[in-house]
Amino acid sequence: MSLSIRKFVRPNLFWKIFLWFWLATLSVLASTVFLYSLSEQESRLIPIERSERIELRKTAIFVQQKKLIDKYDELKILQPKKIEKILSKTFILDKYGKDLFDRDVPEAIYKLRAFNKRRQQLAKVINNNEAYFGPEVVFNRGKHYQLYLSKKTQQHFYSVISHIYHSTSIWTILAAFGISGLVCFGLAWYLTRPIHQLQKATQAFAAGDLQARATNYMGNRHDEFIDLAKDFDQMANKIDKMIHSQKRLLSDVSHELRSPLTRMQIASGLALNKATDDNRNHLERIETEIERLDEMIGELLQVAALERGNFYEEKSQFILNDLISVLVNDAKFEASAHNKSVTFKAEKEFEFTGYYGLIARSVENILRNAIRHTKSQTTVDLKLYQYDDQIKIQILDQGSGVKEEHINKIFEPFYRPTEARERTSGGTGLGLAIAKRGVEANGGNIYAENGVNCGLADGLKVTITLPIN
């Protein structure tokens, strides 16, 4: 089952509203029929049931076989209780509509008699809690009579249902259910659609599209949902302004720091030229910290530029294998100084069109980060291969990995999980953030996994995914 189908059939708000509306519609219909059955107690004709038809026929056969019509007076004298029991709920009418046993004939039976004369059909009449049904023809000595039966019934509600069922086509009933279902479906869709539209706007905003606005998705509505969308847009505008102000401040501060930093470097260089042995170590320390600060400011400016979409280069076509080979050769030199090594395997040659510098910086930052954290006398493995319609660059170290609660945050600027990165490691906390933005600028994505979650003993695996041009 696809994701879209699973999402559609799950018990979400739409189906809850739809089912409740439909249930309410059916409940109102059932309640109307029930109240009607309680309030309308006058006689009415309804179709006869099969069991009643069989009972009529059996009674008619019994009357004929036992010749009860001829023996009525005799049986009444000899067995009065038995004959009363047999015929207490039986009415046998002659052609004039008179009961052969001289009893008062209920009005309901005359209704059945008239209906049978018009339609030549059997029927049933319910009058309060008494049901009358018939007729069935009984023959005796060349004459025919009409036999009717009566019985007590407390199922007035069900008789109304039976009347509706028998007097209405099954297709009409199904059509009524279908129309009510469609109406409820449309109403549920109308009520939940703006929620889905608002969800699209929030998803687009969360994905980084700060210009996404809910009112653009809502259409021409004039209800509480459009008010909610306007409130969302107001919030989005404030967040957008705040983020842009933050980015501008970061960029401006970084630029402003460059000038005094340059002057500090010049002053430090001049001071070193005239330094004595006593203060040379202190000046060299100052020089090192200035270089670190300069590197951090440079990375801040690069992050700010990438977030603004300024890549400072044109797209070009190049071979990924050649680019990575150059980076791996430089990395091997750095790793060997710490008793570590780097390996590179490529499935085949990959040609890619994108920003060469951003790809190079992204891979370099991840590779250097892996070298920094892999254990001594271990290897950092880099693989280049194709998976489906994507190019994968996989870098795996043999370090201690990152705790699961930090794994999705290591690509944020200045984020430092204590267990993985310390100030003494030399990192600024911006390398992975630059790598992420560089990969995204080339239409790809980047993610990290602990080795233990990939079937490995330890380490961290970082995967860059790029589209095949």
Contacts with 321 (C-beta within 8 Å, 6 or more apart), sequence order: 346, 349, 350, 384
Say which of 255, 338, 373, 406 is annotated catalytic: 255
Which 8-state DSSP code applies to residue 220? Answer: S
Q: Are 464 and 393 in contact (CB under 8 A)?
A: yes
Residue 308's closest CA among 441, 138, 398? 441
Give me the residues paired with residue 46 across strands: 124
Q: Are 430 and 351 in contact (CB under 8 A)?
A: no
Residue 311 in tokens: 């890549």
255: annotated active-site residue: yes
Dihedral angle computed from the Cα positions of residues 264, 268, 269 and 274, in that order, rounded to the nearest 10 degrees:
150
H or E, element range at 321: helix 320-336
Please give the Cα distance from 357 to 313 (Å, whole number): 8
Backbone angles phi, psi at 135, to 5 degrees: -100, 165
Backbone angles phi, psi at 314, to 5 degrees: -95, 155
- Secondary structure (3-state) at 404: coil
Contacts with 139 (C-beta within 8 Å, 6 or more apart), sequence order: 64, 145
Q: Are 143 and 90 in contact (CB under 8 A)?
A: no
State the catalytic residues: 255
